[in-house]
Amino acid sequence: MLRKSIILSLLVLLHIIGFSSDKTFKDSTTVVIQLDNASHHNLNIDSVYMIFDRYDHSGAGVVMQIFYPVDNTIKVTVPKGKYYVNIVCIGTYKNEYFDKIITAKSDKEKKLLLNLQEPDLYTPGLAYIPEEKIDFSDLSITRNRSSRH
């Protein structure tokens, strides 16, 4: 009898505190990030490193994870609030980097569209390397000693 009353009081306490699934659902939102790769015939992006930091600096790194997009789309569930979002593409698009500020509202899906540039591929014979001009009078070994003091 005592065990049943303890279990019942714990369940009531958990419900009052707010550990019910309905409350968690109302306080979070889904952020959908679409990586638009139309310039390269929608080639799939292999992986993306993403960081969500709270805008008011109260919680750094709410999300710090590598994602593997499906159809160039990533879905992340975060608590409602304002965030700094850092997105770094890994792999073929390793030079693509995005910084955004988003506001995630409860029970609303936030959509973010990011346009990727076409990756530069090296083609032998088409690279331009500018001629390097060296001023031998400005080297540390050839400078006048009196100018160093």
CATH number at residue 54: 2.60.40.1120
pTM metric for this prediction: 0.57
Q: What is the pLDDT of residues 82-127, one digit of tens each?
A: 888 888 888 766 677 888 888 888 777 888 888 877 655 666 676 6
Domain carrying residue 91: 25-119
pLDDT class of 146 with cuts at 50, 70, 90: low
State the total domains in the chain.
Answer: 1
Beta strands across the sheet bearing 63-67 = 63-67, 47-54, 81-90, 97-104
**65 occurs within a structural domain:** yes
At 19, is the secondary structure helix, strand, or coil?
coil
Q: What are the residues whose beta carbons fall under 8 Å from the beta carbon of 135, sequence distance 6 or more?
A: none
**147 domain-assigned:** no
Does position 22 have pLDDT exceeding 50, yes or no? no
Given pLDDT bands bounded at 50, 70 and 90, which one contains residue 23?
very low
For residues 119, 123, 128 and 133, what is the CA-based torsion angle, rounded to 10 degrees?
100
- Look up tokens 């600096």; give the residue: 57
